[in-house]
Amino acid sequence: MPDTPGWGPQGPRTGPGHDGPGHGTARYGAPPYGWGQQGPWGPPPPPPPKPGVIPLAPLGVDHVLGGAFATMRRYAKPLFGAALGVYALYAVVLGAALGIAYTVARDHYAALSADGAEFTWEHGKPVLVAFGAVWAAGLVGALAVNSFVQASVAATLQEAVLGRPTTFRAVTRRAWSRTPAVAAVTLPLALILLLPLALFALFFVAVFVTVLTDATAPLGLLFLLFLLVIPLSAWLYVLFAFAPAAAVLESAGPLTALRRSVHLVRGAWWRTFGISLLAGAMVMIVSLAYQLPMQFAAPEPPVVTPDTSASEVMLDQLRSQTGLYAVAALLGTLLTQLAAAVFLPLVTALLYVDRRIRKEDLAHTLAEAASRSAATDTDPLPV
């Protein structure tokens, strides 16, 4: 994969089926200028070129989802290899950090967990500081890891659209260079999602405080804020959803990527929301289709009697959760989560490509780049 600055923003072309000035908005499904232009007589128009996983024309829902599955199938090594590698590294580092934190605060933790022990700041503070530091570092690491995965997905799609081969090393190098910019735009997206969750948690905390004490809490106000924040968060999230793809495919800075996302989503918010929601529902259905049978196949918990000691109960529970069932459950969960981590950013990136085809006539530039790539593999990507 050649080192290129990516697909820079382009001005729209004028002509039928484009969003250029004075030409209105192209209807969904309209072919780009030059393809599908058919008069009342003559042979049917030629189909749009398809050098890679999608036709170079405005994409329907079937093209978006089909393109995502085709990319996952044809570019499985760079896609899943990069994601699996960075998640494995994150798990190892986080596990090591937890081990270090436990070693540092082991004596204080033992004092707090002893029979009849009461919580004191002398022992509690070191434990909270140690594991709190690991938790904070874990959040930062999760942001970096998810940003890298999104960058690797967009970098792979950049070649998949043109039908060009790529390698794990090339995708990793390209994704690593764009991870800081993707992380900078992913952070506000994460905060947008956390806002309604935080209000929801605050509402339930207020309910418990009201029930358990004589204090009063503004439950009605919190619930009203929660209802207002949900549509606001959804609107903002979809509005900025294309920013990670723009940060990679256009080599844009964080602010430029956010502005580009707003520009591209404008006029297609409901379509972007609907297809993204459909992709999320597909992931959820696949996950449930695996988890529900595993729940029914789970081994029965051990019988507990008044004479059973706590250590025996914990040992029996540990034995019941090991073996073939535990391996199958863990492996299935990891595979479904890995597929979701790749599939959802792929759908979003393909929607980004679709909007650029509709608003900026990216299809012609991509077609020219694909035709050049057929002659030589050293041509740079379109700028």
pLDDT in tens, 285-342: 988 888 777 777 666 655 555 655 555 555 555 555 555 666 777 777 888 889 999 9
Q: How confident is the model over 205-218, as a mean pLDDT?
A: 70
From residue 316, alpha-carbon distances to 135, 302, 374 in Å are: 30, 6, 62
| Rounded Cα–Cα distance for residues 333 and 290 (Å) | 8
pLDDT at 290: 81
371 pLDDT band, cuts 50/70/90, is confident
pLDDT at 205: 76
Q: How confident is the model over 368-376, as a mean pLDDT?
A: 72
Cβ-based neighbours of 278, under 8 Å, separated by 6 or more:
61, 65
156 pLDDT band, cuts 50/70/90, is very high
Q: What angle do CA 245, 6, 49 make, to 5 degrees?
A: 85
pLDDT at 151 over 70: yes
Q: What is the DSSP letter of 47?
A: P
271 pLDDT band, cuts 50/70/90, is very high
- pLDDT tens digits for 25-53? 333 334 444 454 455 566 777 888 889 89
What are the backbone dihedrals phi and psi of residue 369, each rounded to the nearest 5 degrees, phi first? -65, -40
Q: Can you give the pTM of this predicted structure?
A: 0.79
pLDDT at 134 over 60: yes
pLDDT at 356: 94
| Rounded Cα–Cα distance for residues 147 and 181 (Å) | 9
Which two structure tokens, joined as six digits, stand for 268?
A: 């297609």
pLDDT at 336: 87
Using alpha carbons, select from 244, 249, 241 the residue that is nearest to residue 147.
244
Instruction: Report the phi/psi class of residue 120: left, alpha or beta, with left for phi > 0 and alpha for psi in -120 to 50.
Output: beta
